[in-house]
């Protein structure tokens, strides 16, 4: 469960995924069986764990990422922006028999995406609670269940970004301080767990904004600032990192949610996952 967190440079441990994203830009997302010609293809560092680690670092936190990559050339590309962004990579392990994770992403002209992930080394990740001594411990569902459970049992302010959606054991959620999901993920998770019993749940609704629930009661609802969306790949990751840091440092619910919505909206205005992540100066506005 959570403990007091200093508002200045909180320590964050992220247990999550590292991918190299292969991004194809298309006029519109293809229908089943349809072939479209892309405007172009780029290679960009990604992975929900890595994205949220870099997002938290850009928002002023001291961040260590616990993740797994392959012993291959893709690993260097996938870790490049994390390294230059000041994320502590001493929690990275090398999986000798698995490739670095990859994601195949299509982005249309309205910023909507489809994403297919090959987990690769992410599926081998294992962590120890003793290594997760931090103010905030954040994890995602792109890593094994055992790693998720270990992260959520850590003593800090625990945050689960329940994406990609899959069933999560109810006992894992008992002591979680914050769960972040989009509306579709909320429905899938709620079918297997009592989310009204969770301390706090944030649900994003795209252009309709986001809501924060505490023990099932809506305590804040915020609409995002109007933006021209370019690529929504890391919008949810920026939202989660910003909300986790704000709530952990005891910023009030509505201000925290407004800051998170701004972070997510700003991330959607720029192409690529990690290159799009906003800074504290961009998010911390009235």
Of the candidates 284, 282, 277, 191, the one whose C-alpha atom is nearest the C-alpha of residue 231 is 277
Is 206 marked as binding a ligand? yes
Are residues 57 and 238 in contact, defined by beta-carbon separation less than 8 angstroms?
no
Is 51 marked as binding a ligand? yes
Catalytic residue among 237, 252, 253, 284: 237
User: Which residues, 6+ apart, have CB-to-CB distance to 163 below 8 Å?
Assistant: 48, 140, 141, 142, 181, 182, 185, 236
Task: Tell me, yes or no, if 252 is annotated catalytic.
Answer: no
Is 19 marked as binding a ligand? yes
Are residues 100 and 49 in contact, defined by beta-carbon separation less than 8 angstroms?
no
Is 147 marked as binding a ligand? no
Are residues 68 and 250 in contact, defined by beta-carbon separation less than 8 angstroms?
no
Are residues 225 and 265 in contact, defined by beta-carbon separation less than 8 angstroms?
yes
User: Which residues, 6+ apart, have CB-to-CB distance to 97 below 8 Å?
Assistant: none
Is 122 marked as binding a ligand? no
User: Which alpha helices (DSSP H) does 13-112 contain, by range?
Assistant: 48-58, 73-84
Q: Which residues are annotated as a binding site?
A: 19-21, 47-51, 142, 182, 204-209, 231, 233, 236-237, 267, 270, 272, 276
State the binding site for substrate: 19-21, 47-51, 142, 237
Residues marked as binding for K(+)? 231, 233, 267, 270, 272, 276
What are the residue numbers of the active site? 237
Q: Which residues are annotated as a binding site for ATP?
A: 182, 204-209, 236-237
């Amino acid at each position: 469960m959570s403990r007091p967190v200093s508002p200045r440079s909180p320590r964050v441990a992220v247990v999550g995924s590292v991918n190299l994203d292969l991004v194809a830009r298309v006029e519109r997302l293809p229908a089943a069986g349809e072939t479209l010609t892309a405007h172009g293809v780029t290679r960009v560092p990604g992975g929900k764990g890595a994205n949220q680690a870099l997002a938290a670092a850009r928002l002023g936190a001291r961040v260590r990422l616990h993740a797994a990559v392959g012993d291959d050339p893709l690993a260097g590309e996938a870790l490049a922006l994390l390294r230059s962004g000041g994320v502590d990579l001493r929690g990275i392990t090398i999986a000798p028999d698995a490739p670095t994770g990859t994601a195949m992403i299509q982005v249309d002209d309205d910023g909507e995406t489809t994403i297919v992930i090959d987990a690769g080394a992410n599926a081998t990740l294992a962590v120890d609670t003793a290594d997760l001594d931090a103010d905030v411990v954040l994890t995602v569902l792109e890593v094994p269940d055992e790693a998720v459970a270990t992260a959520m049992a850590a003593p800090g302010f625990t945050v689960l970004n329940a994406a990609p959606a899959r069933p999560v054991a109810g006992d894992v959620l008992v002591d979680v301080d914050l769960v972040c999901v989009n509306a579709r993920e909320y429905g899938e998770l709620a079918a297997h767990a009592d989310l009204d019993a969770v301390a706090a749940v944030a649900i994003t609704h795209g252009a309709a904004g986001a809501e924060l629930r505490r023990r099932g009661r809506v305590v804040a609802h915020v609409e995002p600032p109007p933006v021209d969306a370019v690529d929504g790949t890391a919008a949810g990751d920026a939202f989660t990192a910003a909300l986790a840091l704000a709530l952990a440092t005891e910023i009030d619910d509505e201000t925290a949610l407004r800051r998170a919505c701004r972070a997510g909206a700003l991330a959607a205005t720029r192409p690529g996952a990690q290159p799009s992540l906003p800074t504290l100066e961009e998010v911390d506005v009235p």
